[in-house]
Structure 1
Amino acid sequence: MEVKTHIAIVSVPVYSHLRSILEFSKRLVHLHHDIHVTCINPTFGSPCNNTKALFDSLPLTLNQMFLPPVNLEDLPHDTHPAIQVQVTISRSLPLIYDALKALHATSSLVAIISDGLITQVLPFGKELNVLSYSYFPSTAMLLSLCLYSSMLDKAISCEYRDLVEPIEIPGCIPIHGTDLPDPLQNRSGAAYKQFLEGNERFYLADGILVNNFLEMEEGIIRALQEEQEKGRIPCVYAVGPFVQEEQCREGSSNDIKYLRWLDKQPCNSVLYVSFGSGGTLSHEQIKELAWGLELSGQKFLWVLRPPNKFGIIADIGARNEDPFEFLPDGFVKRTEGHGLVVPYWASQVEILGHGAIGGFLSHCGWNSTLEGVVHGIPLIAWPLFAEQKMNAVLLSDDLKVALRVRVSENGIVEREEISRIIRKLMVGEEGKEIIQRMKVLKDAAVDAIKNEGSSTVTLTQLALKWKSLSLECCC
């Protein structure tokens, strides 16, 4: 009789994180048909259409378990989306534990893999006597910071943003304090305390799975592996890149319009502009970006959302305003045929895979970054929040596959700077060098997930470990 190895995946209600961990789950069951996966999903409110599409795209071998929605009515109406997520995670923990306990009682559950934002799940593995892993949907560079953060906290007394010298993180390129993630920009804030507490829980993991491949962050991953060999940190496994391959869309007439428009453009001539699944700009910044695109003289495809006071939208399916109202007067008419603005959402996978795309102006979210790498598209780094500035440092200063925008003293990227950097990437000599480096990185990404690639071999070794535990349980 065939023994099914059962793995539980615990997600978080953040679209970008959910996408990443589901792609990992799909890859796992694709490579190992005898592994059974159940995805446990905390929720608040009704999922948007894009989230529904993610789950609709899952193979039948991936079971889904949606926990009862958490009631957030006691929170203020204008609560930041990040706080809503944290409260949802906290209030869902008893439900998650009960779900895991039930799975363990009825199947040969051998491992729990929880998203890196929900490290509170890691102790559950010890209580249920199963292995417990963290799925880290970002860079090894950020992971190194997380594992090193308590030491930094003790070694540095001032605010990180006030440091004159760059910070040394094991295995990483030196990084300025202002480029550290948002929670580290105010050490007296609650977010900073939560960041440190969450990082300490990583040490409870039997391993940490990173959504990247060895060849992209080899120095950092090797440094982490040296630390693990000394018994100082958990095992670190580079198992990516996991990117969305097939279409998961809401569906609209815009889909056909922008793809047909791209079909008419010369090869590598169009700059794709997008700030991810939820990133937004201020009204002033939208106008500056529009003027910069126009001044550059380069072709562009821009996915535009209206401004939001948080700089991020919680529901990527919400369409309450007309984003075209925030563009400069006459912009659409003046750039007609030369550029195209798509409201709210577009299929990034299809766009980046189109031969007309020659550059990608990105917020440096990790999903978007990996999609750019997998398709070999040179980048303009325009980070907005979270760990995106760290990603920009990795891409522009370390790997040198991106140009980073300069922000003025008033916090705005001005039109002249936007025009300059677009032309530099799309038609400048430095842009040509970036294209060559990105091609090498693309080839390495493709190789990493081949049958004998570094990431596939690493994931297979983990899977074999889990399967052997299932056999032991059945004996």
Structure 2
Amino acid sequence: METTKQEEARHLQPHIIILPGPGLGHLIPFTELAKRLALHHNFSITFIIPTDEDTPVEVRISLTVNRSLPSPRRALVGTNFSIGSSSCSCTRICALVVDLFSLSAIDVAKEFGIPSYVFYPTTATCFSLVLHMPELDKIYPGEYRDSPEPIELPGCFLLHGKDLMDPVQDRKGKAYKRLLQIRDRYNSAQGILINSFMDLEPGPIRALKVSRVLSLKPPVYPVGPLVQGSGIISSRGSVLFVSFGSGGTLSQKQLNELAFGLEMSEERFLWAVRSPNEFAAFCGRTKEKGLVVASWAPQIQVLSHGATGGFLTHCGWNSDLESIVHGVSLIAWPLLVKVGENGLVGKEEVARLAKGLIGGEEGKGLGLKMKDLKGAAARALRGDGSSVKALAEVAHRWSSSNVQK
């Protein structure tokens, strides 16, 4: 049985409540954040995971969180909060950490006097773009994809309108209007954690931290890369890993072009595809060079394997960071922007890119660049690394808070 001292220690342990957005792409980095807080800073963690399947894709995530708000509110009401108490019978609630799609939960935190923080699980560049959306909305009269001039953000590379993510491309859509509405919600938080690191995005992060972009009030903490795996492989093989994530989809015509391109490249490959039975003939022709697996492959294990020499990816930020940590060069195939002629990437282009990455001079150059980024990521996560220091600063702020329940 738990002794009195053990019980007192458990109640005194600083506690964090985490509310991620639905979907693996958001849950995975939040889980990695929780693991580091628990292992390195002695926090206990409660996850509240929203679920809802009956809403349109464009607004499903935000609506799911909004519909789930009564659940954390009921849980908090049931715990009889008091603020500033020093009683050992109280569990120390230090902060509520929310997702970029969970900003409405900040209001719940305010009800109970709990400090709220936002964990932004993607890039500092993307966060800067979101912060600038109201300003850009006034400057550009038409759709961004039709703008002849690139978009310039503090510290960022020039962005072409046609390359912006899908929700930004339809200015009459619900997703775009929500982006405009939520911008000021970030100022209601006490801090912003970003899943990136200084050496990867020095310009955007410096602008966010130093310039306080567009009156952004809370401090910004780059705490990434928050991914699984250690990235200890020192050399790379010649297998191309092809995967489009848990939610990525391609048309049947595009899948056929991809299959023909892989075959034409004559490079070795591992392809995770949802319906491999539709490619029985292709599998037969390429059985000496490639392997097709159904729906899912253990991505961390594949990227950390020495035989993997490249990754054709949908450009989800988790996949990008995992590739960096493990030093695997990328062929970028973003699914949230239009690519190729009429939105179709031909087999010739697939073959050219695969051969160039795995066996060409371009691939060797990319490999050297990825090796540098891998080293930078490792340095950020060392004991005196920039991301370790940033997370330690946040953890200290949380540990010093007085909110009790």
Q: TM-score, normalised by structure 2?
A: 0.90
Are the structure 2 counterparts of residues 229 and 4 from structure 1 closer, same or farther at C-alpha, using a change threshold of 3 Å?
Answer: farther
1:178-208 CA distances to partner (integer Å, 9 max, x unpaired)?
1112111110111111121122211211111
The match for 2:240 is: 271
Instruction: Give ranges in structure 1 of 5+ residues lacking alignment.
Output: 46-71, 73-78, 247-265, 306-322, 390-404
Which residue identity does 1:22 align to in structure 2? Answer: T
User: What is the rounded CA distance, in whole Å, between the counterparts of 1:102 and 1:194 in structure 2?
Assistant: 32
Decide whether the 8 Å contact of 1:283 with 1:326 is kept in 2.
Answer: no
SS in 2 for 1:330: helix
1:40-95 CA distances to partner (integer Å, 9 max, x unpaired)?
111236xxxxxxxxxxxxxxxxxxxxxxxxxx4xxxxxx54444333322211222
User: What is the rounded CA distance, in whole Å, between the counterparts of 1:231 and 1:414 in structure 2?
Assistant: 45
Are the structure 2 counterparts of residues 267 and 234 from structure 1 closer, same or farther at C-alpha, using a change threshold of 3 Å?
Answer: closer
User: What is the rounded CA distance, in whole Å, between the counterparts of 2:79 and 2:223 in structure 1?
Assistant: 26
Query: Larger RCO: Structure 1 or Structure 2 (Cα < 8 Å, ≥ 6 residues apart)?
Result: 2
Runs of 4+ in 1 over 6 A off after TM superposition: none
Q: Which moved more, 1:119-128 or 1:4-13?
A: 119-128
Decide whether the 8 Å contact of 1:293 with 1:418 is kept in 2.
Answer: yes
Cα offset for 1:418? 0.6
Cα offset for 1:406? 5.5
Cα offset for 1:277? 1.4
Which residue identity does 2:102 align to in structure 1? Answer: I
1:73-122 CA distances to partner (integer Å, 9 max, x unpaired)?
xxxxxx54444333322211222333344457163212110011111112
Are the structure 2 counterparts of residues 182 and 99 from structure 1 closer, same or farther at C-alpha, using a change threshold of 3 Å?
Answer: farther
Decide whether the 8 Å contact of 1:213 with 1:448 is kept in 2.
Answer: yes
Are the structure 2 counterparts of residues 371 and 194 from structure 1 closer, same or farther at C-alpha, using a change threshold of 3 Å?
Answer: same
The match for 2:251 is: 282
Residue 24 (structure 1) aligned with residue 8 (structure 2): no
Identity of aligned residues (%): 44
The match for 1:293 is: 262
Decide whether the 8 Å contact of 2:131 with 2:214 is kept in 1.
Answer: no
1:462 corresponds, among 386, 394, 398, to: 394
Across the aligned residues of Structure 1 and Structure 2, the Cα RMSD in angstroms comes to 2.2
The match for 1:156 is: 140
User: What is the rounded CA distance, in whole Å, between the counterparts of 1:204 and 1:156 in structure 2?
Assistant: 27
The match for 2:84 is: none
Q: Which moved more, 1:8-17 or 1:120-129?
A: 120-129
The match for 1:53 is: none
Which residue identity does 1:415 align to in structure 2? Answer: K
2:197 corresponds, among 187, 195, 213, to: 213
Q: TM-score, normalised by structure 1?
A: 0.77
The match for 2:340 is: 407
Which residue identity does 1:95 align to in structure 2? Answer: S
User: What is the rounded CA distance, in whole Å, between the counterparts of 1:244 and 1:142 in structure 2?
Assistant: 22
Are the structure 2 counterparts of residues 80 and 299 from structure 1 closer, same or farther at C-alpha, using a change threshold of 3 Å?
Answer: farther
The match for 2:3 is: none
User: What is the rounded CA distance, in whole Å, between the counterparts of 1:16 and 1:286 in structure 2?
Assistant: 23
User: What is the rounded CA distance, in whole Å, between the counterparts of 2:367 and 2:64 in structure 1?
Assistant: 42
2:354 corresponds, among 406, 422, 435, to: 422
SS in 2 for 1:383: coil
The match for 2:75 is: 99
Cα offset for 1:447? 1.5
The match for 1:365 is: 316
